[in-house]
Amino acid sequence: MRKLSFVIAIIMLGTLLSACSSVTSTMDQTPAGVTSGESKEIEKYNAYVMLNNLMTGRINEVLVHYFEKLGVDTQPVIEKNFSFIMLDVAETEREVIDKANGYTASQPAFATADPLVTKLTPVIKDLLSVLDDMKAYYDSKGYVDDNFAQGKQLHTRLVNANLAYENVATQYFRALQKLGNEQRLAELQKLKDADQQIRYNALKFMIDAEATAIEMDEQGISAGNVLQLDMTKFKAKYDIMTADLNELMTISKDKERIQKEGVNSFSIGNYVDAATEAKAAASKIIERINKKEPVSDSDLNGQFLHTTDGTPENFNYLLSKAIERYNEMN
């Protein structure tokens, strides 16, 4: 089964730029300081991000929940006194698939990502079709009637559909990560030039927090081997992220600056709270390493590793929540 990329979500762009203009701007209007071409580029990029976030968010959650219960081999692992609640992907969440696919032929072209969205669309829909069949089967407890005959067939279908999905999804994540790096650095410079200090610091924390997550990902560090983390390399990224948060916490309390930039104080407050939790999760990794305290077998074998303190999984989970709060900022 595919391992998650280092974060659950990707930062969306555009809302911060549009906030520089009147709050009455609509989706059909081009915000002040943003050209029509830039607006279209951001709109398309965000559509691709929403697809990514569906995949690394709810779809991944459903797959992990299932495979942790019934295994990833071609035949399911069925426990005695079996009981299971199958999760699903809501129809409203799936709308981003067709929306993203609708941008593949539009300008500006994203040479690497466009063909992957086209290739990915039918693969995701095939995967979701299997998940829908499984949802109906397990909700009705069909395994009681047929002694798991259909359940075994559905499991094999899911394993095959997931393998096809993983292959294209991995390529898509890499392409979007590279595209996202370019887009975010460009936006960061625009915010700095426009003296949008709150938004600048909010985005800078996100970029540097992701760099912290990437460092662990590139070292191959997870809960199982967290004590092997190269602290020198990790701390270099962690210290920058920490400095970002301190700056953000200070400037987000500046009422005059909030009014000047037109930032919603409630949304920036929610974001700062989430960013603080993410940073604290990274601090707990350092604490665990300093104490030389490995993650327990019970936690490693459990279904809620993302809530276990002092693990990359917990940091990534809380970072994804911070990204969600960032994407909601206005």
**14 or 124: whose pLDDT is higher?**
124
For the ranges 67-71, 160-164, 226-230, the lowest mean pLDDT is seen at 67-71
pLDDT for 15: 44
Average pLDDT for 177-190 = 85
Q: Is the pLDDT of residue 29 over 50?
A: no
Higher pLDDT: 189 or 330? It is: 189
Whether pTM > 0.85 for this model: the answer is no
Q: Please state the rounded mean pLDDT for residues 198-222.
A: 92
**pLDDT of 31 above 50:** no
Report d(CA 241, CA 48) in Å as an integer.
26
Is the pLDDT at 76 greater than 90? The verdict is yes
Six-digit token string for 253:
């309390």
Confidence of residue 9 (pLDDT cuts 50, 70, 90): low
Beta carbons within 8 Å of 103's beta carbon, 6+ residues apart? 43, 44, 47, 48, 117
Average pLDDT, the chain: 87
Report how far residue 10's alpha carbon sits from residue 50's, in angstroms, rounded to the nearest whole number: 8
DSSP of 63-124: HHHHHHHH-SSSS----TT---------HHHHHHHHHHHTTTTSSSP-TTHHHHHHHHHHHH
Which residue's entry shows tokens 């993203």?
A: 100
Rounded Cα gap, residues 72 and 3, in angstroms: 12
Our measurement of the distance from residue 41's CA atom to the centroid of its chain's CA atoms, rounded to an integer in Å, reads 21
Looking at beta carbons, which pairs linking 166-171 to residues 24 or more positions away fall under 8 Å?
166/1, 166/2, 168/116, 168/119, 168/120, 168/123, 169/2, 169/55, 169/120, 170/2, 171/116
**pLDDT for the residue 308:** 92
What pLDDT score does 303 carry?
63
